[in-house]
Structure 1
Amino acid sequence: MIDETHDPARTSWVESANGSSEFPIQNLPLGSFSPNGGAPRGGVAIGEMILDLSLAARSALLSGEAKAAAEAGAGGALNPLLGLPGSARRALRRRLSELLKDGAPDRAEVETWLYPASACTLHMPAQVGDYTDFYAGIHHALNVGRQFRPDNPLLPNYKHVPIGYHGRASSIRVSGAGVRRPSGQKKSPDAETPSFGPSARLDLELELGIWIGQGNDLGAPIPIGQARGHIAGFCLLNDWSARDLQAWEYQPLGPFLAKNFMTTISPWIVTAEALEPFRIAQPPRPGGDPAPMPYLWDEADQAGGAYGLDLEVFLSTRAMREAGTAPVRISRSAARHLYWTAAQMVTHHTVGGCDLNPGDLLGTGTISTPDDSGLGSLLELTRGGSAPISLPGGETRTFLQDGDELSIAGHARAEGFATIGFGPCTGVVVG
């Protein structure tokens, strides 16, 4: 699956793409944008520019599957493009890479397809029909479990089954949307009765989003050996959480108001094709852990079903921004710390007969490191609020306050290949 589009020596006549750690010519992620106040249409990020798929679709420079893919992606939401076979995405990727590389003969026409990203508005890349949040970050599960069950932090099912719950698709927003602090019921341990009011323990969750490509029919599970072909790409995801609401409401059915008020994603779908060079082996399970059941086991998935993605979390308070102080990195983690692969999540999601559709979104769950260097939530970083983190200017935080800006960054890195990124995943708590 690695081809000339991944060649680290390939450069583009779009100068801002060369040397970019986000959107070099080796990336070409898919999204939805509107230029200069125009109507939304599909786009491809290249450096600091966005290529308009609606214009590419009308051109004689594209043909066959590449043209069909551009036509399917020309509208404001990319669901039709995501629903095409992976071969169509690959054909579009290869043709655009050819047209954008240095020395391409048709540069003059392709230049007319480009808009400066700074003059464009980014939208949800697809209409999300369903959203499911998994709990596949074992170190996060252990850290949270130790706060409530020190002697038995993981529940008995964790290492046997990919745990997940159905989230709320309607409140997913792209990077930059303000985050409103939710209100709901909460009950402190020393209170006799619950109270109602805004959450005082607003938190982040460092996750990846998995975009579904081709779906499956109701009652027809996706076998683990075929699950990879149903994944169109990935994004960054912050599943904002109200920990005080969650503690009161989550039993017996799981999160509700604590999670459904907002989920922020990065606006670009970094395609499965772009990430081929960054596939790595799924880390072996610790000795004594149960082997996955046969329906969740595939040798090829174990050999290359994880990804070499570095993930970072940055925090900037209102006072820091007013003082011109740079955001502080509060966490650095990596996708390799997931206990289950993306393919295992897809397969388990459908094993009971559930149908997935193009544009459905899966969250991986919070991705934390085994040590304290890369904890993916403030609940872990501050030990449940008992150990505040220190910030410039003498500020401290246990949980997020109004005016705080939280940003997630992600980059795929591998020796011998160009680094590619996911773009911003940022939200400001607006109160």
Structure 2
Amino acid sequence: MSWGLDNLPYGVFSRRGESPRVGVRYGDSVLDLAAALHDEVFAAPSLNPFMARGRSAWHDTRTLIRNKLDSDRSVTGPHLVPLEQVRLHMPFEVADYVDFYCSLEHASNVGKIFRPDTDGLTPNWRHLPIGYHGRSGTVVVSGTPVTRPHGQLGAGRFGPSAKLDIEAELGFVVGVPSEMGSPAGPLEEHVFGVTLLNDWSARDIQGWEYVPLGPFLGKSFATSISPWVTPLEALPRVPGRPQDPAPLDYLRRREDWGLDISVEVSINDEVVSRPPYSGMYWTPDQMLAHMTVNGASLRTGDLFASGTISGPRREERGSLIELTWNGSDPIKLPGGETRTFLENGDTVTIRATAGDLTLGEVSGTVRQVT
């Protein structure tokens, strides 16, 4: 897949002995933007200052980078740093973090597991994109080890989670803030780009605390993101999934914000699932509208995520709890190993493509609790 001129995701990198700075991935190299464009905003150790410049600056800068790489390699060539010479860092400073629940299939599957006497969906699910506020301080970059969390596992029971899970998601990164008291404007005016996201989940902790509070300690211990943020402008858009009943006016789609993205989940290099993002019920413009309709503000660096991406077939489910429902069909790994939930030492990698573009990957290894 291509890391070419149609892609150009942003990230933050450093070379040995140097400070982190902003770059763009091109092929197997990173373009040092501060040096190539003579713009000190890219000498910052995060994307936040650049993202705050707004949509016109995002578009103009992307056009300038493409033109220079395409026709002026004598200028950009000296500032292309091979990937093997760099360390990748968190691409932006996370302000607030909200996780949604936008897949009809995932909500139905998990709802039946946690509430077996129902059809899975809560009465409000088709009327609004359900979400919850997460902890921005535990959002980490790909490659950061994930420690198995402790928590309450039931009445009078405390210990390390035995049901550690993943959720394959897409994260949306806010660049332009909105004022408190006013709903956000169109998605493209606020959202800079997307990043792959793994919402690590402790299902036994979650199951005990879930009713009536919703996600809390079973989710807040770690969320991993890719080091690359792909500009929203680069992504192929498709019509959103039909919705019944029709949403309220503030949630009605004005544009096509379905995204044609294919996701791949692997455990220890064995592919276990291929969820399709294009089938998500709620689209990112609707998430943004609902998140701010009460007057809540946006800040540069806000991150909101799609919730688990799952499709109608078993091989399209984006979490282990769905893939191994009731434990009757565990995942088979090379060497005869099986998994219902994650074991210590397991490495989970989520990759995604959008047409000929690659969105990179987010990876993390489960570390033994200390």
Normalising by structure 1, we get a TM-score of 0.83
Which deviates more from structure 2 when the two are superposed, residues 154-163 or residues 35-44? 35-44
CA distance in 2, matches of 1:251, 1:393: 39
Letter in 1 for 2:111: G
Give the deviation of 1:81 after TM superposition. Answer: 1.1
Matched with 2:16 is: 36
Normalising by structure 2, we get a TM-score of 0.96
CA distance in 2, matches of 1:391, 1:339: 31
CA distance in 2, matches of 1:264, 1:257: 16
Higher share of residues assigned strand: 2
Matched with 1:49 is: 29
Matched with 1:424 is: 361
Asked if 2 retains the 8 angstrom alpha-carbon contact of 1:132 and 1:165, the reply is yes
Asked if 1 retains the 8 angstrom alpha-carbon contact of 2:315 and 2:323, the reply is no
Question: C-alpha offsets along residues 228-250 of structure 1, whole Å, 9 cap, x if unaligned?
Answer: 32111001100000000101112
Matched with 1:306 is: 258
CA distance in 1, matches of 2:28, 2:181: 44
For residue 60 of structure 2, the aligned residue among 69, 88, 91 is 91
Letter in 1 for 2:85: A
Matched with 2:232 is: 272
Give the deviation of 1:111 after TM superposition. Answer: 1.5
Asked if 2 retains the 8 angstrom alpha-carbon contact of 1:179 and 1:427, the reply is yes
Matched with 1:141 is: 107
Report whether the alignment pairs 1:121 with 2:87: yes
Give the deviation of 1:392 after TM superposition. Answer: 1.8
Give the deviation of 1:227 after TM superposition. Answer: 2.5
What secondary structure sits across from 1:236 in the alignment?
strand
For residue 261 of structure 1, the aligned residue among 212, 221, 226 is 221
Give the deviation of 1:109 after TM superposition. Answer: 2.5
Matched with 1:200 is: 162
Structure 2 unaligned segments of length 5 or more: list them.
none
Asked if 2 retains the 8 angstrom alpha-carbon contact of 1:385 and 1:399, the reply is no
CA distance in 2, matches of 1:394, 1:56: 50
Matched with 1:230 is: 190
Q: Percent identical across equivalent pairs?
A: 45
Report whether the alignment pairs 1:182 with 2:149: yes
Report whether the alignment pairs 1:213 with 2:193: no
**Cα 1:22/1:184, change in 2 over 3 Å:** farther
Asked if 2 retains the 8 angstrom alpha-carbon contact of 1:212 and 1:233, the reply is yes
Matched with 1:157 is: 124
**Cα 1:22/1:427, change in 2 over 3 Å:** farther
Give the deviation of 1:385 after TM superposition. Answer: 3.1
CA distance in 1, matches of 2:75, 2:2: 25
Matched with 2:333 is: 391
Letter in 2 for 1:228: E
CA distance in 2, matches of 1:228, 1:40: 28
Give the deviation of 1:150 after TM superposition. Answer: 4.6
Matched with 2:273 is: 331
CA distance in 2, matches of 1:345, 1:335: 15
What secondary structure sits across from 1:251 in the alignment?
helix
Asked if 2 retains the 8 angstrom alpha-carbon contact of 1:266 and 1:423, the reply is yes
Letter in 2 for 1:73: F
Letter in 1 for 2:144: A
Give the deviation of 1:424 after TM superposition. Answer: 1.8
What secondary structure sits across from 2:213 in the alignment?
coil
Give the deviation of 1:56 after TM superposition. Answer: 2.4
CA distance in 2, matches of 1:409, 1:421: 8
Letter in 1 for 2:265: V
Question: C-alpha offsets along residues 120-149 of structure 1, whole Å, 9 cap, x if unaligned?
Answer: 111111100110000111110001112223
Aligned length: 367
Q: Which has the larger radius of gyration?
A: 1
What secondary structure sits across from 1:32 in the alignment?
strand
Asked if 1 retains the 8 angstrom alpha-carbon contact of 2:108 and 2:119, the reply is no
Letter in 1 for 2:130: I
CA distance in 1, matches of 2:347, 2:321: 17
Give the deviation of 1:384 after TM superposition. Answer: 4.1
Letter in 2 for 1:351: V
Structure 1 unaligned segments of length 5 or more: list them.
1-20, 59-69, 188-192, 317-326, 414-418
Matched with 1:169 is: 136
**Cα 1:118/1:145, change in 2 over 3 Å:** same
